[in-house]
Amino acid sequence: MPCRAADRPLIQLRDYNVVMSHPLSVRFHRSDVLERLKVEASSRSVSISALAEELIEEGLRLRRHPLIVFRDGASGRRAGLVDGPDVWEVIGGIVGGDVPVVDRVERAVSLFGLGPERVTAALEYYAAYPEEINGAIAANIAAAEESEEIWRHRQQLLAG
Protein backbone atom coordinates (compact mmCIF):
# COMPACT_ATOMS: atom_id res chain seq x y z
CA MET A 1 0.00 0.00 0.00
CA PRO A 2 1.55 3.34 -1.03
CA CYS A 3 2.34 5.91 1.64
CA ARG A 4 0.57 9.21 1.18
CA ALA A 5 2.18 12.53 2.08
CA ALA A 6 -0.53 13.16 4.66
CA ASP A 7 0.39 9.91 6.45
CA ARG A 8 4.06 10.85 6.88
CA PRO A 9 5.16 12.82 9.93
CA LEU A 10 6.15 16.41 9.42
CA ILE A 11 9.86 16.95 9.98
CA GLN A 12 10.90 20.36 11.22
CA LEU A 13 14.43 21.59 10.94
CA ARG A 14 15.46 24.23 13.44
CA ASP A 15 18.41 26.58 13.48
CA TYR A 16 19.25 25.85 9.89
CA ASN A 17 19.47 28.83 7.59
CA VAL A 18 20.90 28.88 4.13
CA VAL A 19 21.25 32.33 2.67
CA MET A 20 21.85 32.23 -1.03
CA SER A 21 20.15 35.35 -2.25
CA HIS A 22 22.31 36.13 -5.24
CA PRO A 23 24.32 33.14 -6.47
CA LEU A 24 27.01 33.76 -9.07
CA SER A 25 29.31 31.40 -10.86
CA VAL A 26 32.79 32.81 -11.42
CA ARG A 27 35.43 31.43 -13.75
CA PHE A 28 39.06 32.34 -13.20
CA HIS A 29 41.39 32.64 -16.17
CA ARG A 30 44.37 31.91 -13.94
CA SER A 31 44.21 28.90 -11.64
CA ASP A 32 46.69 30.48 -9.22
CA VAL A 33 44.13 33.16 -8.32
CA LEU A 34 41.61 30.53 -7.27
CA GLU A 35 44.30 28.63 -5.38
CA ARG A 36 45.39 31.78 -3.49
CA LEU A 37 41.74 32.51 -2.69
CA LYS A 38 41.32 29.00 -1.25
CA VAL A 39 44.51 29.29 0.83
CA GLU A 40 43.53 32.72 2.18
CA ALA A 41 39.99 31.56 3.00
CA SER A 42 41.38 28.54 4.82
CA SER A 43 43.88 30.64 6.79
CA ARG A 44 41.06 32.97 7.90
CA SER A 45 38.66 30.09 8.63
CA VAL A 46 35.99 31.48 6.30
CA SER A 47 34.34 30.06 3.23
CA ILE A 48 35.70 30.83 -0.20
CA SER A 49 32.43 32.57 -1.03
CA ALA A 50 32.57 34.77 2.07
CA LEU A 51 36.15 35.83 1.36
CA ALA A 52 35.42 36.44 -2.33
CA GLU A 53 32.44 38.63 -1.40
CA GLU A 54 34.56 40.60 1.11
CA LEU A 55 37.33 41.15 -1.43
CA ILE A 56 34.93 42.18 -4.17
CA GLU A 57 33.14 44.60 -1.83
CA GLU A 58 36.46 46.12 -0.75
CA GLY A 59 37.66 46.32 -4.35
CA LEU A 60 34.53 48.20 -5.39
CA ARG A 61 34.94 50.59 -2.46
CA LEU A 62 38.61 51.15 -3.34
CA ARG A 63 37.65 52.17 -6.86
CA ARG A 64 35.32 54.84 -5.52
CA HIS A 65 37.63 55.89 -2.67
CA PRO A 66 41.25 55.59 -3.89
CA LEU A 67 42.80 57.11 -0.74
CA ILE A 68 41.20 54.41 1.42
CA VAL A 69 42.75 51.05 2.30
CA PHE A 70 41.45 48.15 4.38
CA ARG A 71 43.36 46.80 7.37
CA ASP A 72 43.06 43.80 9.64
CA GLY A 73 43.04 44.37 13.35
CA ALA A 74 41.68 43.17 16.66
CA SER A 75 38.27 44.59 15.78
CA GLY A 76 38.26 43.05 12.28
CA ARG A 77 38.67 44.68 8.89
CA ARG A 78 38.42 48.44 8.89
CA ALA A 79 38.81 51.34 6.50
CA GLY A 80 41.79 53.63 6.87
CA LEU A 81 43.56 56.34 4.97
CA VAL A 82 46.58 55.35 2.88
CA ASP A 83 49.59 55.91 5.18
CA GLY A 84 47.28 57.41 7.78
CA PRO A 85 44.87 56.69 10.62
CA ASP A 86 41.64 54.74 10.40
CA VAL A 87 38.69 56.64 8.94
CA TRP A 88 36.74 56.34 12.20
CA GLU A 89 39.59 58.08 14.06
CA VAL A 90 39.52 61.06 11.70
CA ILE A 91 35.74 61.30 11.74
CA GLY A 92 35.59 60.88 15.52
CA GLY A 93 38.01 63.78 15.82
CA ILE A 94 36.06 66.23 13.68
CA VAL A 95 32.36 65.37 13.81
CA GLY A 96 30.48 66.96 16.67
CA GLY A 97 32.19 68.88 19.42
CA ASP A 98 32.43 72.60 19.87
CA VAL A 99 34.57 73.48 16.85
CA PRO A 100 32.55 75.45 14.27
CA VAL A 101 31.63 73.32 11.26
CA VAL A 102 33.56 75.55 8.85
CA ASP A 103 36.77 74.99 10.87
CA ARG A 104 36.56 71.22 11.30
CA VAL A 105 38.56 70.18 8.23
CA GLU A 106 41.35 72.59 9.21
CA ARG A 107 41.24 71.20 12.74
CA ALA A 108 41.64 67.65 11.44
CA VAL A 109 44.51 68.73 9.20
CA SER A 110 46.39 70.13 12.20
CA LEU A 111 45.26 67.45 14.68
CA PHE A 112 46.21 64.47 12.51
CA GLY A 113 48.95 66.04 10.38
CA LEU A 114 47.06 65.15 7.22
CA GLY A 115 46.59 67.06 4.01
CA PRO A 116 43.11 68.45 3.36
CA GLU A 117 42.62 65.92 0.52
CA ARG A 118 42.99 63.06 2.99
CA VAL A 119 40.53 64.57 5.45
CA THR A 120 38.13 65.06 2.55
CA ALA A 121 38.66 61.41 1.52
CA ALA A 122 37.75 60.30 5.05
CA LEU A 123 34.64 62.48 4.99
CA GLU A 124 33.59 61.11 1.59
CA TYR A 125 34.02 57.53 2.81
CA TYR A 126 32.02 58.39 5.93
CA ALA A 127 29.26 59.89 3.80
CA ALA A 128 29.06 56.66 1.80
CA TYR A 129 29.24 54.27 4.80
CA PRO A 130 28.04 56.15 7.91
CA GLU A 131 26.76 53.04 9.75
CA GLU A 132 30.15 51.35 9.47
CA ILE A 133 32.09 54.37 10.75
CA ASN A 134 29.56 55.25 13.46
CA GLY A 135 29.73 51.62 14.63
CA ALA A 136 33.53 51.78 14.85
CA ILE A 137 33.36 55.07 16.79
CA ALA A 138 30.79 53.60 19.20
CA ALA A 139 32.89 50.44 19.68
CA ASN A 140 35.94 52.57 20.46
CA ILE A 141 34.02 54.65 22.98
CA ALA A 142 32.72 51.49 24.67
CA ALA A 143 36.22 49.98 24.81
CA ALA A 144 37.64 53.21 26.27
CA GLU A 145 34.91 53.33 28.92
CA GLU A 146 35.56 49.71 29.85
CA SER A 147 39.30 50.34 30.08
CA GLU A 148 38.73 53.38 32.27
CA GLU A 149 36.44 51.41 34.56
CA ILE A 150 39.08 48.68 34.91
CA TRP A 151 41.72 51.33 35.65
CA ARG A 152 39.53 52.97 38.31
CA HIS A 153 38.86 49.62 39.94
CA ARG A 154 42.57 48.82 39.94
CA GLN A 155 43.32 52.20 41.52
CA GLN A 156 40.76 51.50 44.25
CA LEU A 157 42.34 48.12 44.93
CA LEU A 158 45.81 49.67 45.17
CA ALA A 159 44.55 52.36 47.54
CA GLY A 160 43.41 49.61 49.88
Residues of the chain with pLDDT under 50: none
pLDDT for 40 equals 93
User: Residue type at 9?
Assistant: P
Number of domains in the chain: 2
- Measure the CA–CA gap between 72 and 155, rounded to whole angstroms: 33
Q: Are residues 59 and 135 part of one domain?
A: no
In total, the chain counts a number of residues equal to 160
Q: Are 119 and 94 in contact (CB under 8 A)?
A: yes
pLDDT of residue 12: 53
**Domain membership of residue 50 as a residue range:** 31-64
Which H or E run contains 81? Answer: strand 78-81
pLDDT of residue 26: 85
116 and 94 share a domain?
Answer: yes
Domain shared by 100 and 116, yes or no? yes
Asked if residue 18 is part of any domain, the answer here is no
Q: Determine, yes or no, domain membership for 17.
A: no
